Chains A and B, each alone.
Chain A
Amino acid sequence: MSGARSLMVALEKEGANIVFGLPGGANLPIYDELYKSNIRHILVRHEQSASHMADGFGRVSRRPGVCFATSGPGATNIVTGIATAQADSAPMIAVTGQVPTKMIGKDAFQESDIIGITNPIVKYAFQPMTAAEIPEVVKKAFYISSTGRPGPVLIDIPKDVQQNEAEMVFPSEVKIRGYHPWVDPDIREIERAINMLLAAEKPVILAGGGVIISGAFAELQSIAELLMIPVVTTFKGKGSFPENHPLSLGPIGMHGHAEANKIMVEADCVLACGSRFSDRSVGTFEEFERNLKIIHMDVDPAEIGKNQTTHIAVVGDIKASLRIMVKMLIQKATKRPGDNPWLKRVNETREYFRQNLKLHSHPLGAAKVLRKLREVLPPQSIVTTEVGQHQMWASLFFDVIHPGTFFSSTGLGTMGWGFPAAIGAKAAKPEVPVVDIAGEGSFNMTENSLAVSVLDDLPVIVFLLNNFSLGMVAQWQRTFYDRRMIGIDLKNCPDYVKLAESYGAQGIRAQSIDEIGKAVQTALKSNIATVIDIPIDPQEDVLPFVAPGTSLKEMILPS
């Protein structure tokens, strides 16, 4: 069997039934076998979108999404998607065509050293030089990508290796001697963690993306409820805990909820689950760890002590670690009363900000717009975001009720991610509505994926907060650069209703809160790709705001 054929067989054996990609000279043998296989192909209009679709598919289905690209520019076009997946620990398999083995290093047409280019942004990369290697390479790629801390794996296959015939052996399992993703959590450390939490006067739980990746929602909720500990999240961890829960305070960080930041800095002990303490979450590292006892649970041992000094470390899968913790708490019949002074303080703080935090007065202020979306959108719907002001408003004003339904490019902050990722999410879960909360600046970057959403019957709703500008940059220029506004004016171009219609999608302009509600309902009912263009106030800032390089204490509140 040929290398290309063995690739398809191996992909099918791994359960891949869909690939996102774009063919070219160096991967035509692969496409010829794709033609003969049962795997569904989604033809993108730019390879970057293929990688984001695979990423969105992977995050939602929690198994690697697969994208295909040809050599050279095809491969370099997926670099941003690979880096995005790596930064957010998303499982992905990227298969690139490469020039034939004897042409490698000759600066051949459409040759790029994609292995070298992607080295720091992949979990691992393979370049099989013989066809016979392919089945094992694919098996290893899926194993590496989906276990431990997930991440993108690249398989770069020279064209002749795709074409060559070989006796194929498909291994049922693989072992990699330098890779040990499964670490059993140390029970003694978990016991110490429980004691530390019980001894603390002002404990909080900080839930990160690891909770979502490992699907530890029920365990997290049990612990919070047994110990009556308030839960803050990172932005990546948003929606790891129901945001309408009485113990929920929402995300901390640069644009965290005021009450979450306030309580975080008052806490004396934190149980951090699957968080890498990014600068956007904690502000300054030194200030964050002052007077704070840190219990750090993470699947990746290299995260322990990387950014913050840890008092207790539990290395292992978050779900497994939390499950042990729940068991221990139940065995010991350990519960904390809900009427302690700390919880009283937490509730008062939340209530204070709910009453007193000033919201933007414009009739289409972000809070009103996003709360309307929440009101009309079924709770199990999946939401992605682009990157910018709308993303942070989503963090502030769009409550995630059903855990694990909110996804964003949080680590790399990739503009243009949300829409193709939403299409990938729709492919993974066609039965639920999928909405991309977007800004027009980001949407511009991958809006040609409208063709895919329409033609491949993967209808998503683009909820476009249109402020005719690169809003977050504008906000920083207003705040830090004395209003010297440059490079931000998008001049309301294109007309997004016409743009949508030209792709065969539905375009709706919604100019009031009432119209927004109706537009979303129309989109949900019609089940075709829809762009809802919402002209918002270009002057609205995202507040609260913790300026870069400052601590969470120094939160700028709306005045």
Chain B
Amino acid sequence: MWSIISVLVENKPGVLFKVTHLFRSRNYNIDSISVGITENPEFSRMTITTSADEKQLNQIIKQLDKMIDTVEVKLLDEKKSIYRELVLMKIKITKPSDIMEITDLANAFKCNVHDVRKSSIIVEITATPDRISAFEDLVRGYGILEITRTGLCSLERGVGNES
């Protein structure tokens, strides 16, 4: 089971360390984590994805909530939130027609293409994890040389009960 947790934290040194250390010391798993400052510079927002059963997820949320530097901890409902990940993928070019084919695929997925070279091309894709996987499957045949991903970042839809 895959879950998205949104954590609003105090924007100060050491908080990311404390959050990740909590996962380590309690033997929970972080699949991805993204952190950035919010509209209020006093806070940062972390989006954490984790695979845990219901009981463990419950504990993760309570333990995060217990941390003094966390201000708000929310388990996000996928249907009621927007979540995206940015992935850069370096794909191998074997023959010139590869470039065209990959660019076409990239367009179909609304990706940007960067750094087109004789032997490689970098594609930037911002999408949900399942769409990213779909794209990855399609280009795997060309040979994926390197991947870097930001981890999910996520926001609830609407304001208050509007979501």
Residue of B nearest to A149 (CB): B66
Within 8 A of A (CB), among B54-75: 55, 58-59, 62-63, 65-71
Closest to B62 in A: A302
A302 in contact with B66 (CB, 8 Å)? yes
CB pair B65–A301 under 8 Å, yes or no, is: yes
Q: Mark A161-182, 1 if CB is under 8 A from B, else 0.
A: 0000000000000001111000
Is the pair B68, A124 in contact by a Cβ cutoff of 8 Å?
yes
Interface residues on B, range: 20 to 34
Q: Considering the complex, which residues of chain A in the window 495-543 have a beta carbon less than 8 Å from any beta carbon of chain B? A: none
A471-495: CB near B (< 8 Å → 1, else 0) gives 0000000000000000000000000
The A536-554 residues at the B interface (CB cut-off 8 A) are none
**A300 B17 Cβ-Cβ under 8 A:** no
Are A301 and B62 in contact (CB-based, < 8 A)?
A: yes
Q: A306 in the interface, Cβ–Cβ < 8 Å?
A: yes
Contacts of B10 in A (CB 8 A): 178
Q: Are A178 and B71 in contact (CB under 8 A)?
A: yes
Say yes or no: A178 contacts B67, CB within 8 Å: yes
Closest to A140 in B: B68
Tell me whether A119 and B21 are in contact in the complex, defined as CB-CB below 8 angstroms, given that A302-B59, A305-B58, A305-B59 are known contacts. yes
Chain B hits for A304, CB < 8 A: 62
Q: Does A369 contact B (CB under 8 A)?
A: no
Interface presence of B25 (CB below 8 A): yes
A116 touches B68 (CB 8 A): no
Contact with B along A297-316 (1 / 0, CB 8 A): 00011101110000000000
Picked from B14, B18, B68, the residue with its CB within 8 Å of the CB of A179 is B68
- In the complex, which residues 105-160 of chain A have their Cβ closer than 8 Å to any Cβ of chain B? 115-116, 119-120, 123-124, 144
Say whether A178 contacts B68, CB under 8 Å.
yes
Residues of B contacting A: mostly: helix
For the complex, what is the distance from the CA of A178 to the CA of B66, rounded to whole Å?
8
CA distance A260 to B125 in the complex (A): 62
| A120-B25, A302-B59 given; A178·B17 CB < 8 A | no
Of B14, B65, B67, B69, the residue contacting A115 (CB under 8 A) is: B14
> Which residues of the partner chain A approach B70 to less than 8 Å between Cβ atoms?
178
Beyond A120-B25, A177-B71, A306-B59, whether A301 also contacts B17 by CB under 8 A is: no
| Contact in complex: A302, B63 (CB < 8 Å) | yes
CB distance from A174 to the nearest CB of B (A): 12
| Bound CA–CA A177/B43 (angstroms) | 11
**A176 vs B9: C-alpha distance in the bound complex, in angstroms?**
12
Contact of A119 with B68 in the complex, beta carbons under 8 Å: no
CA distance A124 to B67 in the complex (A): 9
List of B residues within 8 angstroms of A178 by Cβ: 9-10, 67-71
- B14: chain A residues at CB < 8 Å are 115
Q: Which A17-66 residues have C-beta < 8 A from chain B? A: none
Residues of chain A within 8 A (CB-CB) of B66 are: 300-302
What's the least CB distance linking A112 to chain B, in Å?
16
Question: B55 contacts which of A115, A119, A300, A305 (Cβ < 8 Å)?
Answer: A305
Q: How far is the CA of A298 from the CA of B18 in the complex (A)?
A: 24
Q: How far is the CA of A304 from the CA of B62 in the complex (A)?
A: 9
A300 to B67, CA, bound (A): 12
**When the two chains form their complex, are residues A176 and B62 in contact, meaning their CB atoms are under 8 A apart?**
no
Chain A nearest Cβ from B44, distance in angstroms: 12
- Which residues of chain B are near A305, meaning CB under 8 Å? 55, 58-59
* Nearest CB on B from A114, distance (A): 13
Please, which residues of chain A bring their CB within 8 A of the CB of B9?
Answer: 178
Cβ < 8 Å to B, chain A residues 282-307: 300-302, 304-306
* Docked pose: A123 CA to B18 CA in angstroms: 11
Q: Among the listed A115, A144, A300, A302, which residue makes an inter-chain contact with B68, where contact means beta carbons less than 8 Å apart?
A: A144
Q: Is the CB of A302 within 8 A of B65?
A: yes
| A120 x B21 contact (CB < 8 A) | yes
Q: How far is it, in angstroms, between the C-alpha of A120 and the C-alpha of B10 when the chains are bound?
A: 18
For A120, list chain B residues within 8 Å (CB). 21-22, 25
Minimum CB–CB distance from A301 to chain B (whole Å) comes to 6
Chain A, 383-405, CB within 8 A of any chain B CB: none
Chain A residues close to B by CB (< 8 Å): 115-116, 119-120, 123-124, 144, 176-179, 300-302, 304-306
Closest 5 CB pairs of A and B: A302-B62, A120-B25, A179-B68, A178-B71, A302-B66
Q: Which B positions have Cβ atoms within 8 angstroms of A?
A: 9-10, 14, 17-18, 21-22, 25, 55, 58-59, 62-63, 65-71
* Chain A to chain B contacts (Cβ below 8 Å), 26 pairs: A116-B17, A119-B17, A119-B18, A119-B21, A120-B21, A120-B22, A123-B68, A176-B68, A177-B71, A178-B9, A178-B10, A178-B67, A178-B69, A178-B70, A178-B71, A179-B68, A300-B66, A301-B65, A302-B59, A302-B62, A302-B65, A304-B62, A305-B55, A305-B58, A305-B59, A306-B59
- Known A120-B25, A178-B71, A179-B68; further 20 A-B contacts with Cβ < 8 A: A115-B14, A119-B21, A120-B21, A120-B22, A144-B68, A177-B71, A178-B10, A178-B68, A178-B69, A300-B66, A301-B62, A301-B66, A302-B59, A302-B63, A302-B65, A302-B66, A304-B62, A305-B58, A306-B59, A306-B62
